[in-house]
Chain A
Amino acid sequence: MSTIALDTPEARTTGEHWPLARTVARIYRRPALVLLLAITGISALLVYRYHGWAGDVALRERVGAYSFGFLRINSFSTYGGRIAFLPALFAALLAGRATGEEWQARLTVLTLGQSISPRRWFGVRWSMLAALLTVLVLPLVVLYRLNVARADHLGLLSPGDQAQTIILTVGPVTLAYVVLGVAAGALAGTVLRNTWSGALAGAALTWVLTALLVRSRAALLLDFPALSKVHGTAPGGFLGMQFYGLLPCDSLLQNSLSRADYWPYQLAQSAVTLAVAALLALLAFRVLRRHTGNL
């Protein structure tokens, strides 16, 4: 039996500026490994797709632009929708589950019984989770954008709904949605203090908020000065919302934008999303204060 040589902070405090972050990183080690495996698999598919675009030029010559769009561009657009929103839903599930479980399993009695304030402990927990998921999702965003640039360079993205969606949907706003998911999960887990209802409510809240954001950005950003002149957007779907395979779909505003609007559009939309996330985090801390009596 190999016995323990205790590795306490007293033994090595030098340079350890984020002591709680190390403990929180340990808590998230398993879900992070599972997520890393999943993202490695999706990244491999995107790398494979990247190398496939060159061969698709000949395919489009053979079958024509309409059939090519149906064969390739539609499926690539679906990838984009999933990359844009599924990480946010996963982030909400994970944050809601982790927060709800900590209350349900009474681990808060252990954690909040130490010499740390609830705000500091949960602040570190939630911000570490947001940072971890953002770092893990970043390669997907980069690889997807590389694919878009490659396909666009080869002239495979002809104007139309799908091409605009592909070009404009994924980017910094995808990472902002992940932060929004963590904030929604944190709020749901803190309010419900139950593992599974916290997880499910967090994901549901994220889905509703992303759908509302996707719909409302047509109105919010319509006359945004940094964007090109936008002409009337088409209403459609339930209350003007659009969905594709239950994920919020975005073509109302994007149809009217050009490639040059990518960064202003992404940054403006990210700012709106992060503002909503900050509001949710603020609410979560208020609920936490009500539960514990102090922050």
Chain B
Amino acid sequence: MTSPSSSPEAALTARGLTGRHRRRGPDVLADATFQLPAGVICALVGPNGSGKSTLLELAAGVQRPSAGTVEVFGQPARTGHPRVAYLPQDRPLFRRFTVAETLCFAARANRGNWDAGMAQQVADISRFDRRDQVRDLSGGERTRVALAVALGKRADLLLLDEPMADLDVLARQELMGLLMAHVADTGCTVVMSSHIIAELADACDHLLVLHEGRVRLCGEIEELTDAHAVVTLPGGTGQLAGHVVVESRPAGRGTTALIRPAAVLPAAWQAERPSLEELVLAHLGTPTAPALALPADPRHQDTAA
């Protein structure tokens, strides 16, 4: 994987980024190198323990890398960055604060950089009693309040760790709609982790796949799917020599495989473009397959905030 050059239009740049939970613990994220252009909506995908939350914490400046660097809009990641908003997975909030007090704190801590209307809309403030404290809220309600704090901050980079977890189907639909409308209005960059690939496929245009702390795939979803093919061919896998085989399995008398074609495919083969889900599952199911990081698409840099 080539090291990305520093670009002022890049929202997030990682070079050899390594992170640990404890100083002497194992690497949770290892030697991650990638670049996300400004203006993209990036799906961050990987199994549990793959380093998604660690990557987001490093980008938010909450953790410090044990090796490598991470830059946000060309500057080293740090806490208190006015252009970065972070929604952590555990939704930390002051337990004894009411919902109004929580939003008031966020407004005070982001003076001149706070969208009160957006925050109230996301939190759906009318649903809460004025005496409701955060400790009395359900998981879904806490998520709403935490998301309101993140989206209320007028940030150019939103780091959202499983933002729709704990929410019911209706709330998911409503909040995803609000998030997409917010992104369309502001042109901000979003990095959003989730386990539900179908949900991300509709919303995201960029993909970053992690597995066991390493970057497996990175690039625009269209380009990544275009770079792969699901082929069905008669016979065994020997015919696939010369192509990068990500995953293969027997199918009747033939073979079905997800490959990265290195040349024009024979006409006898049945080839299809893989879905996002097929692509992700194949890479996660075959950790030995070579990683692929496509260079950032310059089209996105025109939409940079």
Contacts and interface: CB of A to CB of B under 8 A. Distances in A.
Interface stretch (A50-58, A105-113, A159-167): A105-113
A10 B103 CA distance: 11
Contact of B61 (A7, A27, A293): A293
B229 interface: no
Contacts of A116: 80, 109
B107 A115 contact: no
Contact of B80 (A6, A7, A8, A117): A117
A2, A4, A27, A292: most-surrounded residue (chain B CB, <10 A): A4
B103 A114 contact: no
A2, A4, A114, A294: most-surrounded residue (chain B CB, <10 A): A114
Contact of B94 (A27, A292, A293): A27
B94 A107 contact: yes
Given A107-B92, A110-B92, A118 B79 contact: yes
Q: Which 7 A-B pairs have the closest CB atoms?
A: A114-B109, A19-B108, A112-B79, A115-B82, A294-B78, A106-B92, A115-B110
Contacts of B57: 109
A19 B111 contact: yes
Nearest to A27: B94
A3 interface: yes
Interface string B134-158: 0000000000000001000100000
B79, B85, B127: most-surrounded residue (chain A CB, <10 A): B79
A30 interface: yes
Interface string B218-232: 000000000000000
A172 to B, nearest CB: 33
A23 to B, nearest CB: 5
B129 A9 contact: no
Contacts of B60: 109, 113
Interface of B: 57, 60-62, 64, 76, 78-82, 84-86, 88, 90, 92-94, 96-101, 103-111, 113-114, 116, 120, 125-131, 149, 153
A1 interface: yes
B88 A109 contact: yes
Given A1-B129, A6-B125, A114-B80, A106 B90 contact: yes
Given A3-B129, A106-B90, A113 B101 contact: no
Contacts of A3: 125-130
Nearest to A5: B130
Contacts of A112: 61-62, 79-80
Given A3-B128, A113-B85, A23 B108 contact: yes
Contact of B100 (A7, A105, A121): A7
Nearest to B83: A115
Contacts of B100: 4, 6-7
A71 to B, nearest CB: 46
A62 interface: no
A121 B108 CA distance: 11
A8 to B, nearest CB: 5
Contact of A4 (B90, B105, B130): B130
A20 interface: yes
Contacts of B103: 6, 8
A113 B92 CA distance: 11
A105 B95 CA distance: 10
A22 interface: yes
Interface in A108-141: 108-118, 121
B52 to A, nearest CB: 15
A154 B211 CA distance: 82
A164 to B, nearest CB: 46
A9, A10, A27, A107: most-surrounded residue (chain B CB, <10 A): A9
A26 interface: yes
13 contacts: A2-B129, A4-B128, A10-B116, A20-B109, A26-B105, A27-B94, A107-B94, A109-B57, A112-B79, A121-B109, A292-B78, A293-B78, A293-B79
B58 to A, nearest CB: 10
Given A110-B149, A113-B85, A294-B79, A8 B92 contact: no
Given A10-B107, A110-B93, A113-B88, 8 more contacts: A3-B130, A19-B108, A23-B104, A23-B109, A27-B94, A114-B109, A114-B110, A294-B61
Nearest to A120: B80
B78 A22 contact: no
A292 B64 CA distance: 7
Nearest to A9: B107
Contacts of A20: 108-109
Contacts of A10: 107, 114, 116
Contacts of A4: 98-100, 125-126, 128-130
Contacts of B82: 115
A9 B108 contact: yes
A118 B109 CA distance: 12
A200 B96 CA distance: 24
B97, B101, B113, B126: most-surrounded residue (chain A CB, <10 A): B101
A7 B85 CA distance: 22
A106 B79 CA distance: 13
Nearest to A112: B79
Nearest to B131: A2
A9 B125 CA distance: 16
